[in-house]
């Protein structure tokens, strides 16, 4: 009997990790350690399911995610669906949340790209009409509550909001606590508790200057999401709204290219929103503008040079989350995440960007190496970029993106 294809293995895993109840349906990142619903994880799961011919599952996932959106448009980064011991213990740890079932933080807004994939695979107009105003509402919330007068870029107020929890560039910004043993974990929870004392209110957080970062990857997803929304509203015949969203997307793209760029390093870095200075610490987010439209050819070639450099990001199994030359590089990353291992969701984003800009040979090579990771180690949370050995959780749902590359 022939072995199941990568696509079939992906479908089996996504089905295995389904969590459903009376009012919810979603795919858990992993059943053991991450049984809850996360915003960007669910969006990646919906993208994978859409491209694997399971649009109905993708639609159900996004409907559940957006049903948990707050009335003002904030989309929680973590949602506790249903009941159980793990939910109760999580509530106890984060007793200071205003809502015990929804995080007061957000995550990169991948949801618009998920809705775009669902539309491309289904052309389900009733679904689009139902869901698009909700997605637009979230992007409106980001624009109103997280941008500032001097830039259309949006801010994160916690490393957890970036999705790249322990990215090295955050260390200095988190203060002295981050230098203690297990200090980053202490600093992250301490920061969240202090944010709770502000009621998670943006004006007060900015006044107290706890932590504010214009994070590159978050803003790349924000710009791409605005672009997707513009195209989708055009499908609905709302030309005025489509043009407005397209203009805003271009403004964010321009701001990333101008404000986050370091000409000396020829890379893109986060901005410390408190001092408006670049956080010059290379990471996978430094390459993420490869996914943007309108990237000048000279800038594309610079980023491709970094991506394909064997001393930086072109490891045996790319793309490491920090360059191989970084003093923070750890191939397995058991203690802190996003300090070396390869993550398939970011490979997918860069792969999309390579295709967009015509680097088809490189996109094919990245896809081949990404699929090889799954062949060697299965669908893991992350991978050693030197050996391909899997790390973190097994049967990790967003790694099924490899099956659609």
| Rounded Cα gap, residues 93 and 100, in angstroms | 10
- Put simply, whether the predicted model's pTM sits higher than 0.85 gets the answer yes
* Residue 98 CB-density burial (10 A; 0-12 exposed, 13-18 middle, 19+ buried): exposed
Tell me how far apart the alpha carbons of residues 186 and 175 are, in angstroms, rounded to a whole number.
11
Query: Domains, the chain, ranges and CATH?
Result: 6-290 (1.50.10.10), 291-405 (no CATH)
CB atoms within 10 A of CB 85: 7
Write out the chain's pLDDT in tens, 405 residues.
567 899 999 999 999 999 999 899 999 999 999 999 999 999 999 999 999 999 999 999 999 999 999 999 999 999 998 765 555 566 667 778 888 789 999 999 999 999 999 999 999 999 999 999 999 999 999 999 999 888 999 999 999 999 999 999 999 999 998 888 899 999 999 999 999 999 999 999 999 999 999 999 999 999 999 999 999 999 999 999 999 999 999 999 999 999 999 999 999 999 999 999 999 999 999 999 999 999 999 999 999 999 999 999 999 999 999 999 999 999 987 789 999 999 999 999 999 999 999 999 999 999 999 999 999 999 999 999 999 999 999 999 999 999 999
Within 10 Å of residue 296's Cβ, how many Cβ atoms? 9
């Amino acid at each position: 009997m022939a072995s199941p294809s990568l696509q079939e293995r992906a479908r089996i895993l996504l089905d295995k990790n389904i969590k459903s109840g009376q009012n919810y349906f979603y795919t858990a990142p992993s059943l053991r350690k991450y049984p809850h619903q996360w915003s960007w994880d669910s969006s990646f799961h919906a993208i994978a399911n859409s491209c694997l011919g399971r649009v109905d599952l993708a639609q159900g996932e996004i409907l559940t995610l957006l049903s948990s959106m707050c009335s003002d448009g904030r989309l929680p980064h973590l949602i506790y669906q249903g009941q159980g011991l793990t939910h109760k213990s999580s509530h106890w740890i984060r007793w200071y949340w205003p809502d015990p079932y929804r995080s007061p933080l957000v995550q990169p807004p991948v949801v618009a790209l998920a809705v775009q994939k669902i539309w491309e695979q289904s052309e389900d107009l009733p679904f689009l009409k139902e869901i698009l105003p909700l997605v637009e509402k979230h992007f409106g919330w980001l624009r109103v509550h997280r941008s500032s007068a001097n830039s259309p870029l949006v801010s994160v107020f916690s490393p957890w909001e970036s999705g790249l929890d322990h990215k090295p560039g955050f260390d200095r910004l988190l203060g002295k606590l981050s230098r203690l043993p297990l200090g980053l974990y202490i600093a992250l929870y301490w920061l969240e508790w202090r944010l709770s004392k502000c009621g998670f209110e943006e004006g007060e957080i900015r006044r107290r200057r706890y932590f504010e970062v214009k994070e590159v990857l978050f803003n790349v997803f924000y710009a791409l999401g605005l672009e997707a929304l513009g195209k989708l509203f055009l499908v609905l015949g709302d030309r005025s709204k489509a043009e407005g969203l397209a203009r805003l997307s271009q403004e964010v793209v321009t701001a990333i290219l101008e404000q986050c760029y370091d000409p000396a390093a020829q890379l893109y870095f986060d901005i410390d929103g408190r001092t408006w200075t670049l956080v010059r610490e290379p990471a996978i987010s430094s390459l993420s503008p490869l996914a943007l439209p309108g990237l000048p050819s000279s800038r594309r070639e610079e980023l491709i040079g970094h991506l394909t450099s064997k001393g930086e990001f072109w490891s045996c199994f790319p793309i490491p989350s920090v360059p191989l030359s970084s003093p923070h590089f750890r191939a397995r990353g058991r203690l802190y995440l996003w300090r070396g291992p390869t993550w398939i969701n970011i490979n997918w984003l860069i792969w999309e960007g390579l295709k967009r800009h015509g680097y088809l040979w490189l996109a094919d090579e990245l896809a081949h190496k990404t699929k090889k990771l799954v062949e060697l180690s299965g669908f893991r949370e992350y991978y050693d970029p030197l050996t391909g050995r899997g790390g973190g959780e097994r049967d990790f749902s967003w790694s099924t993106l490899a099956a659609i590359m």
